[in-house]
Amino acid sequence: MLVRPEVSPTARALMALELLSGSPGITADRLADKLGVSGRAARRYVGILREAGIPIESVRGPYGGYRLGRGLRLPPLMFSSIEALGLVMAVLDGHHAASDPTDPVGSALGKILRALPEPLAAQAEAVRRHAAPAPDRSAARPDPGTTTALVQACSEHRRVRFGYRSEAGTQWQVEADPWAVVVRHGRWYLLCYSHAAAAVRVYRVDRVSEVEALDDTFDPPVDLDAVASLEEHLGTGWEYDVEIVIEAPYDAVMPRVPRVLGRLEPLDADTCRLTGSTSNPWWYAERLVALPAAYRVVSGPEVQQAARVLGQRLLAAGEGASA
C-alpha cells in the first residue's frame, strides 16, 4: 500500500472528491490505494461526502465503482467560434432579455460564456451586448417555475390544479390531467384533460398560475401525438362559441383555415361550416376576413358584433379610396 504523509480527514475527503471527479467508476480498493488508507476508511470518506450533499453513485459487480452523480458540475464546454456565436444568436432570437443578467436565461447564458475560452467568449459577449433584437409581440413567455411544475407533472403523470386567466380577464380554477407542454409559434401551451369540462383542453402556460401537483395519477392516451392533438383542440373550450357558414366547397376552404379557428366540415358540395370558440371576438373576426369566400356568422353574438364593426370600417376605408 502506498504510504502518504499524515493528512487531516477533511483533506482526505477533498482528495477523494478530486479522485472521484477525475476517475469515474473508480473502485473502493483503487480509491483506498490513491488515498493511502484502508478500503474501510475510503468508504468512510465517500460517506462523509454524501452527508455533505455530494451526489455519489455506486455500482456493484466486477465493473462497478464510484462516480459523481449528475448535477454536481458541468462537463468542459468545447465550442467552436461558429457554434458559440450561433448559440448566442439563437437565444437572442428566441428570448430578447438574454442580455439582462437578472433574467434567468440571461444569467444562464452568462455562465456559459464565462466557461468558454477568452477569445470565443469575447466574440460571443460582443454579439450579446450590442445586438438589438426587436421583441416578438406575438410571443408569450411563461414563468419558468410554472412551466417546470407543469412539465414535471406531465412526466410523473400527476393530476394538477391551477389558476387560469383568459384573455378577456375571466379567472377560474382548473383540475386536469396534464398530457404535454407544447411550444407553437412562440407560445407555450398545456395540452390536458379537463375534469370540469370532461374534455380535452388547451391552455396557454403564460396565463397559468399557482400550479399544485395532486396525489392522483393518470395514464395518458396511448400513442399520443401531442402536436397533432394540440392543433385539433386549439379552437375549442374558450369563452365565446361561434359558428360560421362559408359559401365555398370544403376542399377550397380547408387549406386557408387555421386550426386555431376551430373545426371545418362540409355541409354540401358548395358550402362548409366552421365551429369553434375564442376568448377574443375581435381577433377572431379579423381572422375571418382572410377567408377565400363569402361567409356568415350564424351564431356567436360577440363575434357577430365584432365582425359588424370591422366590416363597417372596411367599407369606410374602401369608400375613401374610391373618392
Place of cell 475510503: 42
Please report which confidence band the pLDDT of residue 5 belongs to, taking 50, 70 and 90 as the band edges. Answer: very low
CA-to-CA distance for 269 and 271, rounded, in angstroms?
Answer: 6
pLDDT at position 322 is: 52
pLDDT at position 94 is: 65
- Taking only the tens place, the pLDDT of each residue in 220-238 is 999 899 888 888 888 888 8
Rounded to the nearest 10°, the torsion over CA 58, 16, 26, 39 is -80
CA-to-CA distance for 256 and 252, rounded, in angstroms?
Answer: 8
For the chain, the average pLDDT equals 82
pTM of the full structure: 0.58
Higher pLDDT, 84 or 264: 264
Residue 133 clears pLDDT 70, i.e. is over it: no
pLDDT at position 31 is: 87
Say what percent of the chain tops pLDDT 90: 34
Question: What are the Cα distances from residue 30, in Å, to 7, 11, 137, 210, 218?
Answer: 18, 18, 59, 50, 47
Residue 4 clears pLDDT 50, i.e. is over it: no
pLDDT at position 244 is: 95
Q: Are 246 and 271 in contact (CB under 8 A)?
A: yes
CA-to-CA distance for 219 and 229, rounded, in angstroms?
Answer: 16
- Taking only the tens place, the pLDDT of each residue in 164-181 is 998 878 899 999 999 999
pLDDT at position 142 is: 83
Q: Are 211 and 149 in contact (CB under 8 A)?
A: yes
Q: Are 251 and 293 in contact (CB under 8 A)?
A: no
* Mean predicted confidence (pLDDT) in 26-46: 86
